[in-house]
Structure 1
Amino acid sequence: MPSPQSHTRPTAMAVWLIIAGVIGWWAAFSLTMEKFHALANPGEAASCDFSPLVQCTKNLDSAQGSVFGFPNPILGLTGWVAPIVVGMAILAGARFARWFWLCFWAGIAFAFGFVIWLISQSIFVLGTLCPWCMVTWVVTIPTFYVVTIHLFRAGIIPVSNRVRQGADKLIGWVPLMAIVSYAIVAVLAQVRLDVLGALF
């Protein structure tokens, strides 16, 4: 069974949190700049508008693009700072209390649920795929998986040793889990929007 040290200081997860946080923050920043550009230049196409299918404008201008009364990218600008800080702190040797991990997971779970909803809205309601939104999807999904599994393998969520050992083995499957998730989204988009037909 892996030592507690590998669980309390999960270096690989910390590195991923930093990478995902930076990528997610950059996507949110880029979308925010596109929103500013749209407000300053009404009617002008965004730089990420590549076709009627692949574009940012329709998503940003929709009700789904401002669910809480302000543009969704602002959530990313603030929210993605947390994984970066947590990842850096872990690498620096910080140890977090159980309540902190649960609060952090709650934020990640909210982001995951929100992304799933946005994916469904993009594919089944808006009929568009926003490039920067998809970047956010790509990093949010595995981040949720890895943090959730860590809570079980580290005993932050009280479980039996057998479950902890299973979670410790499962952590290595996160890349495959993410790829399968991307494949499901791709299939749904293809069936609903005929992405390949629109692109080629």
Structure 2
Amino acid sequence: MSESVAPRRPTVLAVWLIIAGVVGWWAAFSLTMERFRQLMDGGQAASCDFSVLVQCTANLKSWQGSVFGFPNPIIGLAAWIAPIVVGVAILAGARFARWFWIVFWLGIVGALAFVIWLISQSIFALGTLCPWCMVTWSVVIPTFFAVTLHVLREGILPVGRKTRDAAASLMAWVPLMALGGYVVVAVLAQLRLDVLGQL
């Protein structure tokens, strides 16, 4: 296969990458600002603290909130620029090499893996639901499905024709697949934290 991707321009994917990137970046920025406020005034409650269950403070102050030695939202501030740039470039007519799409996809896979871990820590270890974190989860999940199906349907990953055709058909179902992911998280949160009982 040549280094160039298929000739068709994935416009819908590009628009979604821009939307997801902006939403994810804003969530990361908001969480970063909350962390700065906490550092300046340790006793100040975060503006996204609505209850013992729905809050940001516990997540931001936990070790899980600074896995690499600095607040996790800083990762988002840097990483969410990538899908925005890729989306804008696609709309501008850019054609990316196969290796670029593979690296980009691996980054999205890493983002999903990190989010799954954060979800598990939030629900099972911290017992909280961070609003801005949930915003991040809500865009990472569909982005993973969309980019994965794109690299499969275009043959960027070495798969057969049937797999490529199936991926192309499933593209229209990304919203439903994402909804399925949300439902899984919601069920886990309900079973563990009794969210409905605390409303």
What is the TM-score with the length of structure 1 in the denominator?
A: 0.96
Between the aligned partners of 1:119 and 1:159, the Cα distance in structure 2 is 31
Runs of 4+ with >4 A deviation: none
The Cα shift of 1:70 comes to: 0.3
In the alignment, which residue of structure 1 is the partner of 2:3?
none
In structure 2, what residue type is equivalent to 1:127?
Answer: G
Between the aligned partners of 2:7 and 2:196, the Cα distance in structure 1 is 47
In the alignment, which residue of structure 1 is the partner of 2:182?
182
Between the aligned partners of 2:26 and 2:177, the Cα distance in structure 1 is 24
Between the aligned partners of 1:192 and 1:163, the Cα distance in structure 2 is 37
The Cα shift of 1:37 comes to: 0.4
In the alignment, which residue of structure 1 is the partner of 2:122?
122
Q: Deviations over 1:10-51 (max 9, x none)?
A: 000000000000000000000000000000111110000000
**Percent identity over the alignment?**
71
The Cα shift of 1:163 comes to: 1.2
In the alignment, which residue of structure 2 is the partner of 1:48?
48
Matched, 1:95 2:98: no
Aligned-residue CA RMSD (Å): 0.7
In the alignment, which residue of structure 1 is the partner of 2:107?
107
In the alignment, which residue of structure 2 is the partner of 1:172?
172
* Runs (5+) with no aligned partner, structure 1: none
* Runs (5+) with no aligned partner, structure 2: 1-5
Compare 155-164 and 185-194 and name the one that shifted more. 155-164
What is the TM-score with the length of structure 2 in the denominator?
A: 0.96
Between the aligned partners of 2:47 and 2:146, the Cα distance in structure 1 is 33
SS in 2 for 1:156: coil
The Cα shift of 1:5 comes to: 3.2
Between the aligned partners of 1:21 and 1:193, the Cα distance in structure 2 is 30
SS in 1 for 2:55: coil
| Matched residues, number | 194
Between the aligned partners of 1:181 and 1:100, the Cα distance in structure 2 is 27
Between the aligned partners of 2:162 and 2:108, the Cα distance in structure 1 is 25
In the alignment, which residue of structure 1 is the partner of 2:158?
158
Between the aligned partners of 2:138 and 2:68, the Cα distance in structure 1 is 22
Compare 11-20 and 155-164 and name the one that shifted more. 155-164
Between the aligned partners of 1:71 and 1:163, the Cα distance in structure 2 is 39
Between the aligned partners of 2:164 and 2:122, the Cα distance in structure 1 is 37
In structure 1, what residue type is equivalent to 2:49?
Answer: D
